[in-house]
Amino acid sequence: MPRGLEALIPKKKKGTQLSRKKSVFWIEIDKIKPNPFQPRKEFNKKDLKELANSIEKYGILQPLLVKKIEKEVPTGERVEYQLIAGERRLRAAKMIGMKQVPVIIEDVKKESELPISLVENIQREDLNPLERARAFKRLIKEFNLTQKEIGKIVGKSREAISNTLRLLELPEEIKKGIEKGEISEGHARAILSFKKDQQVRIFREIVKKKLPVREVERRVVSPISSQLTKSFSPSKLQEKIAKVLGIRDIKVRESQNKIKLTLTFSSKKELERFLSLIKK
pLDDT at residue 245 is higher than 90: no
pLDDT of residue 6: 45
Domain boundary among 176, 195, 219: 219
User: 60, 90, 114: which is the final residue of a domain?
Assistant: 114
Q: Would you say 194 and 202 are in contact if contact means Cβ atoms under 8 Å apart?
A: yes
Question: Closest by alpha carbon to 146, among 131, 130, 132, 162?
Answer: 162
Per-residue pLDDT tens digits for 72-118: 777 777 888 888 888 888 999 999 999 999 998 877 655 455 556 55
Same domain, 36 and 71: yes
Whether residue 38 sits in one domain with residue 101: yes
87 domain residue, yes or no: yes
Q: How confident is the model over 162-216, as pLDDT tens digits?
A: 999 999 999 999 999 998 889 999 999 999 988 898 999 999 999 999 999 988 8
Q: Does the residue 240 lie in any domain?
A: yes
Whether residue 237 is found in the same domain as residue 266: yes
Structurally, how many domains does the chain consist of? 3
Do residue 33 and residue 103 come from a single domain?
yes
Q: Is residue 64 part of a domain?
A: yes
How would you classify the pairing of strands 249-255 and 258-264?
Answer: antiparallel
Among residues 42, 72, 87, 254, the one annotated as catalytic is 87
Q: Are 265 and 274 in contact (CB under 8 A)?
A: yes
Residue 122, domain member (yes or no): no
Residue 113 near residue 9, CB atoms below 8 Å: no
**Structural domain contains residue 123:** no
CATH number of the domain enclosing 213: 1.10.10.2830
Could you tell me if 45 and 80 lie in one domain? yes
Question: Of 180, 195, 219, which residue constitutes the final position of a domain?
Answer: 219
- Asked if residue 227 is part of any domain, the answer here is no
Question: Where residue 2 falls among pLDDT bands split at 50, 70, 90?
Answer: very low
Q: Are 211 and 157 members of one domain?
A: yes
Integer Cα distance of 177 and 191 in angstroms: 12
Residue 120: inside a domain:
no
Beta bridge partners of 254: 259
| Per-residue model confidence as pLDDT tens digits over 118-172 | 555 565 556 788 888 888 887 788 777 788 888 887 778 888 889 999 999 999 9
Residues 142 and 199 in one domain: yes
Residue 38: pLDDT band by 50, 70, 90 thresholds? low
How far CA 24 is from CA of 65, 83, 106, 127, 195, in Å, comes to 10, 15, 11, 28, 54
CA-CA distance, 216 to 199, in Å (whole number)?
Answer: 11
d(CA 210, CA 218): 15
Say if residue 202 is in the same domain as residue 166. yes
Among the residue ranges 21-30, 59-68, 108-117, 177-186, the one predicted with the least confidence is 108-117
156 within a domain of the structure (yes/no): yes
Question: Would the pLDDT of 29 be above 70?
Answer: yes
pLDDT for residue 27 is more than 50? yes
- Its pTM surpasses 0.75: no
Q: Is the pLDDT of residue 17 over 50?
A: no
Q: What is the mean pLDDT of the chain?
A: 77
Regarding whether 246 and 194 lie in a shared domain, the answer is: no
* Domain, as residue range, for 98: 5-11+20-114
Higher pLDDT pick, 121 / 10: 121
Which pLDDT score is estimated for 238?
Answer: 73
Supply the pLDDT for residue 16: 36
Q: Is residue 6 annotated as part of the catalytic site, yes or no?
A: no
**Structure-model confidence comparison of residues 102 and 38, the more confident one:** 102
Looking at residue 64, which CATH number applies to its domain?
3.90.1530.10
Same domain, 101 and 56: yes
Average pLDDT over residues 213-229: 66
Task: Tell me, yes or no, whether 95 and 146 share the same domain.
Answer: no
